[in-house]
Amino acid sequence: MFDQLKNSLERLLPLTREEFVYFVTLLTPRKLTKYEPFLRAGEVCREIAFINQGCLRYYYLKDGDEFNGQFFFEGSWLGEYHSFLTGQPAIQYIDALEDSQLLVMQYNDMQKLYDEIPKFERFGRKLAENVVIGSQYRTASLLFDTPEERYLKLMRERPKVIERIPLHHIASYLGIKPESLSRIRKRLADGR
């Protein structure tokens, strides 16, 4: 159950067996069925989760329309970071797109972890840095890449998204209509 977590942590910082065991005692397993929410906009996000299995999406709701922010798969950490850090209401929803298994850590336990084993500050730093890298990369892509370039990048860099996420969700993530995505896919399949 904890192999994937161990590999993921060890890419961020070397840990002794005792440190890893202590980390694990702060986690609670949780199962989500497909479409079940992890968080709703307006709630305060008081926990982050490691995805042991499955896939979740972030999205905004505006005037009744959903705008997908990001997809996360097994091996990643998720949470509505702005809300988690500030205690203000979340602006995004987080839902499971597949039956998913999570390992959940509460905000207070994370602060305890930093205080008791300062080495884990690096874990927190890397988590936050990865959020920055992901969100600035996405902003740049939305600003500067054409929809077709965005789709090609996704195929190249995140094949899991293409394989496991329904097309209408991918279109929303790319900032285009499903019809436009179908045209792009057809054009690429025809080799034009």
CB of 135 to a copy of itself, least distance (A): 6
Under rule CB under 8 A, residue 86 binds a copy of itself: yes
Distance in angstroms (rounded) separating the CA atoms of residues 108 and 91: 21
How many H-runs (helices) and E-runs (strands) does the chain carry? 9, 8
Q: How many residues bind a copy of itself (CB under 8 A)?
A: 27
Q: What are the residues facing 106 on neighbouring strands? A: 47
Asked whether 26 and 113 are in contact (CB, 8 A), the reply is yes
Scanning residues 100 to 159, which ones bind a copy of itself (CB under 8 A)?
114, 118-119, 121-122, 124-125, 128-129, 131-133, 135-137, 139-140, 143-144
Here's the x/- map for a copy of itself, 61-80, by CB under 8 A: it reads as -x----x-------------
What is the enclosing helix (H) or strand (E) of 60?
strand 55-62
Largest Cα–Cα separation, the chain: 58
Of the two residues 87 and 166, which places its CB atom closer to a copy of itself in the complex?
A: 87
What DSSP state is assigned to residue 114?
H
Nearest to 29 by CA among 87, 103, 136, 82: 103
CB of 86 to a copy of itself, least distance (A): 6
CB of 154 to a copy of itself, least distance (A): 18
Instruction: Indicate the SS3 state at residue 1.
Output: coil
Q: Which residues make up the interface to a copy of itself (CB under 8 A)?
A: 60, 62, 67, 81-82, 85-86, 91, 114, 118-119, 121-122, 124-125, 128-129, 131-133, 135-137, 139-140, 143-144
